Structure 1
Amino acid sequence: MAEGNHTVVYFSEQVVVLCSCALSFVGSSLIILTYIMWADLRTTPRRLLVYLSVSDWLSAVSYAFGVWRVFHTDSVDCVAQGAISTFANTSSFFWTVAIAVYLYVVIVRASQRAADSLVWFFHIVSWGVPLAITVAAVCLNKIGYDASEVSVGWCWVSIHAPDRVLWMLLTGKIWEFLAYLTLPVLYILIKRHIYIAHAALSEYRPILANRPPSHSFSSMADMKLTLIPIIFIVLRIWSTVRFVLLLADSPARLNAVLVTLHGIGNTSQGAANCIMFVLLTRPIRTRLCAALCCCSSKCRAGEQPSHGAPYRPLPGQDTATQREEDSAGRVGTDR
């Protein structure tokens, strides 16, 4: 895959990564739209998810532009694309950890007030730190053509920067490593707390163990708590592997399969979040299906909507989404 001093990005790799970017774009947009459409979904955890989706949306768009262009010089659009993707990607790391911290405080520390008071801090860190790093990198001419050494066509830290490894760490890798360590620890602590709470409930209130709806919501929440750190690591590990191979000056970082996995992993976070928090969340899935079926039938019939009122869930559905996502939190506070 090496040609001269740059990594060749094959057309097949471009197509695969562009498809991944498209899915992430659609997934992030869907999370944002569902939050806007239905007021009862506007809980704090889902609001934090929307902020993460904004970062993933920007990442998908900027990466798609970079993969489509496959830059070869330090052009203006290369620097612009590299700056946007650097900011969005780093911000995504911070928001992913912020959601885990929020859930930890709510569930394990059982302090909703303390968790809500952290939201402003999350904004300062998750937007401010990436912005400061990106502005500094651009002003010091560190963002530019990187020969796809640790990218897939897009621009990042300039290959001509003598201290490029340091700036690779500052503009992404060090935060990625910290997320690898922080996310599993926080979610293991949360799951451990939920397990202990379930054991206490089973002992003192065994009748609750026989309620299928509560058990269903708890099982889904527990599955999501397991999948969040696993999916994050599975998606991001390929870029980390290429970075380590770059440090070791190994030609294995140019392997076509590894480059493709890197491209898919870096651009799939929005799609993965959509699957977990939209498609695998039954109340939201039901609403989307109902809305799509309604629109489809109206389009086929060529009729205008007969009622001006927006879609309203049935009684009992209003809080179903929050029950599914926050059932683990209520278990912790019911102890």
Structure 2
Amino acid sequence: MANGSQTELYLSERVVVLCTCALSFLGSSLIILTHIIWTDLRTTPRRLLVFLSVTDWLSAVSYAFGVWSVFRTDSTECVAQGAISTFSNTSSFFWTVSIAVYLYVFIVRSSQRVADSLAVFFHLVSWGVPLVITVTAVCLSKIGYDASEVSVGWCWVRIEAPDRVLWMLLTGKIWEFLAYLTLPVLYILIKRHIHRAHAALSEYRPILATRPPSQSFSSMADVKLTLIPIIFIVLRIWSTVRFILLLANSPVRQNPVLVTLHGIGNTSQGAANCVMFVFFTQPIRSRLCTVLCCCCPSCRAEAPHLDDTPQRHQARRDSRGGEEEKDGTGGVIPRPVTSETGPNR
């Protein structure tokens, strides 16, 4: 890597990144507000999602400040912005994996007690590890101006630091790589378990086998389980590609298209989570339509069903003998089928 190199940022790139920062800011804020307003929709997975949204909110604000400021040196503002974005971005990786671990323990291991007990561990790791790494990096003067070589206008690890690669790994990249490996494995295991449970239940509950997927809450949950790791990888892969190109000292890392994709990916997590867990979650979407007094036909069609949504969910679960539970995202997930489950039960 040649010292003194710098990636040129164009106005169009900065505008695009600022727009995605604004969308993530609004999306993360909406997730947090809906959790505060509607207490009856609070579940443990959604509480974990709120903590993830807090980190995405901080990331969006800090990234926007960095792109807007156009830093050129290791100023105090640059170091402060780099420290906040480093902490929030690393914490976001940990909370994303924590949600996957919680769902795996709760669904596959069928132990809500163990899953809930992990909350303290999630807080210690997801807040503590990024905080220790960030404070250490700041104290050792590793955070600062990086010439947009592995960023898009914001400050991160000082490009002139002799051990910059090590600190790039510690302050983000190694956790990003681990998330790439962990998330697909956990969500594949969860999906396999759900499919096996549905197959076993369909042997003596034909209604589960004939129910149209478009009307199934569990099908929506299944779609979300598929999209979560895919969206994470699609958004983050451009940052990883630029990091690898930097290690190879390739000029391709400065390609405007790649830089723009990097900026969009790193700043869009909050917006993506809002789309999946607010707009694609029928109970919350209905309540938003009612609160905002939407005039669109779709909102008017959904609003009348708001009052009986919890009762309908309960009725569905009661009619199936309690074999399904809400997954905390607006869908339902089947409880694991045990050896005691059978036609004569």
Per the normalisation by structure 2, the TM-score is 0.88
Partners of 1:26 and 1:69 lie apart in 2 by 21
Across the aligned residues of Structure 1 and Structure 2, the Cα RMSD in angstroms comes to 2.4
- Seen in structure 2, the aligned counterparts of structure 1 residues 73 and 326 have a Cα distance that, compared at 3 Å, is same
Aligned twin of 1:308: none
CA contact (8 A) 1:82 1:156 kept: yes
**Unaligned ranges ≥5, structure 1:** 297-310
Aligned to 2:308: 315
Q: Please give the per-residue CA displacement for 1:203-238, whole angstroms capped at 9, x wherever unaligned.
A: 122133344599510110000000000000000000
CA separation of 1:318/1:45 partners in 2, compared to 1, >3 Å: closer, same or farther? farther
Q: What letter matches 1:287 in structure 2?
A: R
Deviation string, structure 1 residues 285-317 (Cα, Å, up to 9, x no partner): 111011101799xxxxxxxxxxxxxx9941343
Aligned counterpart, 1:95: 95
Unaligned 5+ residue runs, structure 2? Answer: 297-303, 315-324
Q: Which amino acid aligns with 1:127?
A: W
1:332 equivalent in structure 2: 336
Q: What per-residue deviation string (whole Å, max 9, x for no partner) do you get for residues 170-204 of structure 1?
A: 00000000000000000000000011001001112
Q: Which residue of 1 aligns with 2:242?
A: 242
CA contact under 8 A between 1:158 and 1:164: conserved in structure 2?
yes
Change in Cα spacing, 1:251 to 1:21, as seen in structure 2 (3 Å) is same
Shift of 1:7: 1.2
- Tell me: CA distance 1:329–1:111, structure 2 relative to 1, closer, same or farther (3 Å): farther
What's the offset of the Cα at 1:76?
Answer: 0.1
**SS of residue paired to 1:152:** coil
Larger CA deviation: 169-178 vs 40-49: 40-49
- 8 Å CA contact 1:278–1:284 kept in 2: the answer is yes
**How far off is 1:326 after superposition?**
7.0
Relative to 1, partners in 2 of residues 1:109 and 1:328: Cα closer, same or farther, differing over 3 Å? Answer: farther
Deviates more, 1:208-217 or 1:23-32: 208-217
Give the Å deviation of 1:329.
Answer: 3.4
Alpha-carbon distance between aligned partners in 2 of 1:118 and 1:144, rounded to the nearest angstrom: 35
What is the 5 A alignment of 1:1-335? 5-211=5-211, 216-293=216-293, 313-317=306-310, 320=313, 323=326, 325=329, 328-332=332-336
> Do the aligned residues in 1 keep the contact of 2:220 with 2:331 (CA within 8 Å)?
no
Give SS of 1:289's match.
helix
**Would the aligned equivalents of 2:26 and 2:271 in 1 still touch at CA under 8 Å?**
yes
Amino-acid identity (%):
77
Flag the 1:317–1:326 CA change in 2: closer, same or farther, 3 A.
Answer: closer
Judged with a 3 Å threshold, the aligned counterparts in structure 2 of structure 1 residues 312 and 207 are, in CA distance, closer, same or farther, namely closer
Matched length: 320
Code of the residue aligned with 1:62 in structure 2: it is S
Spell out, residue by residue over 1:226-267, the C-alpha distance to the aligned partner (whole angstroms, 9 max, x if none). 000000000000000000000000000000000000000000
